[in-house]
């Protein structure tokens, strides 16, 4: 029995879409998970990235929802029946596109909601009615609170990249979302890595799940060549460009650990004539989508990014991944190098290791259970000297400018400048000795001795109070007003 999609006996619209997308045989995770999901059982699936987890859960869910397919325009006939939760915006957008491709010949509707975008278009799509909703947890909670997402008829829930959602603190959000769902449902949990936390999550929300592991947990793809090169921080950029040139690599991911380092490295590579773009969390959603699209279209050769792009992004035929910085979390290494060597293709993963990265490399060894050999990378001596000389000259120029500015400030504060100093030097010595500053005039008022004023009665002294006026206590005294006109002679 072969692992052909034709053996699944899927509905004709789904089989047609699969054929048009060029899929002929199933990957191991698809061959094991799809038949189980078709029976309606909960699944806990573990597979390394790039092995087709998206099709493993989307195809059987679409097959089971074909009975609800209808062409009615009423939103009430299109309630949300399948909910797919993912950790990042890029991954949510990618999964939504793949589901739309699988369902393009059906009448099932799907949409995606994630943060960083205006809620109005998302709200309009939800109000029209959708059967499959792909979302990130934060934005989905916004729609739930706004009562634009109703989840009381959800039959299937998918938690994809669940370990990443726990890593970035989505567990409280997941618990809130799952509390809005019906108790009777099918729950699927897929992840590239399994940890004790993931197993506890599965024990809380999955009912008698079928565990599917097509690869040892945290195992890297066998088609990816992994190389570790020793390089100082100053030499890393030179090593990167030399490997690109020697191996004739046309496109690659370059991973760094910080947003600031991501922007700086992308600008530096652009100045060297390479087509590079930065992708990190401080970029707007529109900028991130444009950078990804430019990379997919071949308009950008190097996509310099943080771990925001390390999870699940499926860009075909990327030949190499560079870890410019060794990841702080060993599991992120597995996800980073999973961006190459996808779907059985070969790939290259190069990690640049400095002296401060020894502990992180040791953590990666323990995770993947392989001995890592850090190789020295031979840079041509004239390239290293030119790089070092350039850095040294730049530092010397900056230090020289600082010293010169300091001397100017010091001389300007101590001595007169220009013509005044020359005039003082040319002035005769006797005139300089005879010169005395003019006496400062003094005000005689300040030379007088202190004379105290006569004591005034205290405000609280009864004798100091004015004599009481006649009349009632509530009667106000009349103010004296200056006469504007003299009195007439008759009145006198």
Q: Token pair 């799809």 is at which residue? A: 34
pLDDT attached to residue 18: 92
Q: Indicate if the alpha-carbon torsion angle 149, 152, 153, 159 is positive or negative.
A: positive
Which residue in 152, 86, 80 sits closest to 110, CA to CA? 80
Domain positions in the chain: 5-213, 224-384
Fold agreement between 5-213 and 224-384:
yes
Torsions phi, psi for 292 (to 5 deg): -65, -40
Would you place residue 492 in the very low, low, confident or very high pLDDT band (cuts 50, 70, 90)? very low
pLDDT in tens, 317-330: 788 999 999 998 88
Superfamily (CATH) of domain 5-213 = P-loop containing nucleotide triphosphate hydrolases (3.40.50.300)
Which residue in 44, 15, 8 sits closest to 186, CA to CA? 44
More confident of the two residues 463 and 155: 155
Whether the predicted pLDDT of 475 surpasses 70: no
Task: Please state, in angstroms and rounded to a whole number, the distance separating the CA atoms of residues 337 and 290.
Answer: 23
Instruction: Dig out the tokens for 217 from the structure.
Output: 């947990």
pLDDT attached to residue 470: 56
pLDDT in tens, 402-417: 666 666 666 555 545 5
Whether the predicted pLDDT of 216 surpasses 70: no
pLDDT attached to residue 42: 93
Average pLDDT estimate for 332-336: 84
Would you place residue 222 in the very low, low, confident or very high pLDDT band (cuts 50, 70, 90)? confident
Q: Is the pTM of this model over 0.75?
A: no
Q: Report percent pLDDT > 90 for the chain.
A: 39
421 Cβ contact list (under 8 Å, min separation 6)? 415
In degrees to the nearest 10, what's the CA dihedral of 417, 418, 420, 422?
120
Ranking 94-103, 162-171, 379-388 by mean pLDDT, the lowest is: 379-388
Which residue in 41, 53, 34 sits closest to 94, CA to CA? 53
pLDDT in tens, 70-126: 999 999 999 999 999 998 888 898 899 999 999 999 999 999 999 888 899 999 999
Q: Report percent pLDDT > 70 for the chain.
A: 74
CATH number of 224-384: 3.40.50.300
């Amino acid at each position: 029995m072969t692992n052909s999609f034709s053996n699944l006996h899927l509905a004709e619209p789904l089989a047609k879409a699969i054929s048009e997308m060029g899929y002929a045989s199933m990957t191991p995770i698809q061959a094991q998970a799809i038949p189980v999901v078709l029976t309606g059982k909960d699944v806990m699936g573990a597979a390394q990235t790039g092995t087709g987890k998206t099709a493993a859960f989307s195809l059987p869910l679409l097959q089971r929802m074909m009975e609800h397919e209808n062409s009615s325009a009423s939103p009430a006939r299109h309630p949300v029946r399948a909910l797919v939760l993912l950790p990042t915006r890029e991954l949510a957008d990618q999964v939504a596109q793949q589901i739309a491709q699988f369902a393009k010949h059906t009448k099932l509707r799907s949409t995606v909601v994630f943060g960083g975008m205006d809620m109005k278009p998302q709200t309009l799509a939800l109000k029209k009615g959708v059967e499959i909703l792909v979302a990130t947890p934060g934005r989905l909670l916004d729609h739930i609170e706004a009562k634009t997402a109703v989840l009381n008829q959800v039959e299937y829930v998918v938690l994809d990249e669940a370990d990443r959602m726990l890593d970035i603190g989505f567990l409280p959000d997941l618990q809130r979302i799952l509390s809005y769902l019906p108790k009777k449902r099918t729950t699927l949990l897929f992840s590239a890595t399994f940890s004790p936390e993931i197993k506890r999550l599965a024990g809380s929300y999955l009912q008698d799940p079928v565990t599917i592991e097509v690869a040892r947990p945290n195992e890297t793809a066998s088609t990816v060549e992994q190389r570790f090169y020793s390089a100082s921080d100053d030499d890393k950029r030179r090593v990167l460009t030399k490997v690109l040139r020697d191996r004739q690599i046309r496109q690659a991911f370059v991973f760094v650990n910080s947003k600031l380092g991501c922007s700086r490295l992308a600008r530096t590579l652009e100045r060297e004539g390479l087509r590079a773009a930065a992708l990190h969390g401080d970029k707007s959603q529109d900028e991130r989508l444009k950078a990804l699209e430019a990379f997919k279209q071949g308009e950008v050769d190097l996509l310099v990014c943080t771990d925001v792009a390390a999870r699940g992004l499926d860009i075909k035929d990327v030949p190499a991944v560079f870890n410019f910085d060794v990841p702080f979390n060993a599991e992120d290494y597995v996800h980073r190098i999973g961006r190459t060597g996808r779907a059985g293709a070969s790939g290259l993963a190069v990690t640049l290791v400095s002296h401060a990265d020894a502990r992180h490399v040791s953590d990666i060894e323990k995770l993947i259970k392989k001995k890592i050999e850090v190789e020295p990378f031979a840079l041509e001596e004239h390239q290293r000297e030119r790089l070092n000389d350039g850095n040294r000259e730049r530092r010397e120029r900056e230090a020289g400018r600082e010293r010169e500015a300091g001397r100017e400030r010091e001389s300007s504060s101590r001595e007169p400048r220009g013509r005044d100093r020359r005039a003082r030097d040319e002035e005769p010595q006797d005139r300089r000795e005879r010169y005395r500053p003019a006496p400062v005039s003094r005000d005689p008022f300040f030379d007088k001795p202190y004379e105290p004023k006569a004591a005034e009665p205290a405000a609280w002294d009864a004798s100091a109070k004015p004599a009481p006026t006649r009349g009632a206590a509530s009667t106000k005294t009349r103010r004296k007003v200056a006469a504007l006109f003299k009195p007439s002679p008759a009145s006198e």
